[in-house]
Structure 1
Amino acid sequence: MEEQIKAVVITVSDSRQESTDVSGITLVGLLLSFGAEVVDKIIVPDDLEKIAQTLEKMADRNDVNLIITTGGTGLSPRDNTPEATLKVIEKLVPGIAEAIRLQTMKKTPTAILSRGVCGIRNNTLIINLPGSPNAVVECFEVIEPILKHAVSLIEGKKVHCAN
């Protein structure tokens, strides 16, 4: 049986508030439509330490197995989400970020500039997505087919084998 997704959505932005967080709201809707339980939705500023602390706190909860961030993955000086993620993860999962860039750049050539990463901390999968609502939708289409399988593998509930 595949694992139930219990997700946290983290919007990384200096300018967003709950009422203006379109990307976070979009991501919550996509996760709910997918059948995931969204246990928390948080907005944090583009500050490396605050992002890292929030990722640690959320990943170390017992009721979370997926964290998806939106925002802070670009090239501007305040884009710190990948660095914060790399600071807290225990294991890198590069294929997910590579697949996101590969697929989304077919529609949006500038997607190649996204520096999002993916990794695991405390049996929680952490995935960085860009901050625009359209990018969130495009990226979620890429990761949706593997989310339940990935979480099951991470939690040791499914053994990966090739037939």
Structure 2
Amino acid sequence: MRAAIFAIDTGAYKAKAESAAATALKRLLEQAGFEVKAAGILPQEKEVVESVIKQLADAESVELILTAGATGYQDEDCAAEAVTDAAERLLPGIPEALRAYNLRYSKKAILESMAAGIRNKTLVINLPESAKTAKEDMEYILPEVVQVVENISL
């Protein structure tokens, strides 16, 4: 199973900084048996994020793409829209489950605009920006993610 992980953060992108969320997610996926083929930071620009998703999925480079960040309600928060426009099939149950899971900690979870979907045998999931929350969310859904990845790549 191959994966790509991208933090979506214009400030970190311009500063060429590292993302704690991407690092935590990479470690978690590798422990679960994924080979992380790409990891990095993208600017908060819908067209850029959507283009990267489409390129990786259409080239069949990876079976899983995770994004961390840009899931709020500000104008520049574009992750959900990028996935929605890139996906051929949406999986609304994933973000619904994550919001419900995160509501245990904070009512602010209702403000998250995450999305998940499939494009060309690639599962794409938005996660929150916080390294702690992104890691915990991924741990929560990991068995189902592995199941989807195994089934769509047949």
TM bracket, shorter-chain basis: over 0.9
Q: What aligned pairs does 1:38-77 form with structure 2 within 5 A after superposition? A: 38-77=36-75
1:95-145 deviation digits (Å, cap 9, x = unpaired): 111111111211232122111000000000000001111211221122112
Residue 97 (1) aligns with residue 108 (2):
no
Q: Where in structure 2 are there 5+ consecutive unaligned residues?
A: none
Residue 152 (1) aligns with residue 150 (2):
yes
Q: Where in structure 1 are there 5+ consecutive unaligned residues?
A: 158-163
Q: Identity over aligned residues, as a percent?
A: 33
CA RMSD between the two structures: 1.3
Larger Rg: 1
Q: What aligned pairs does 1:1-163 form with structure 2 within 5 A after superposition? A: 5-17=1-13, 19-155=17-153, 157=154
What is the CA-CA distance between 1:15 and the residue it aligns to?
1.2
* Native 8 Å contact 1:8 1:39 kept in 2: yes
Of 100-109 and 121-130, more deviation after overlay is shown by 100-109
Tell me the distance in 2 between the aligned counterparts of 1:103 and 1:30: 19
Tell me the distance in 2 between the aligned counterparts of 1:131 and 1:60: 26
Aligned residues: 152
What is the CA-CA distance between 1:91 and the residue it aligns to?
0.3
- TM-score w.r.t. the length of structure 2 is 0.92
Of 146-155 and 77-86, more deviation after overlay is shown by 146-155
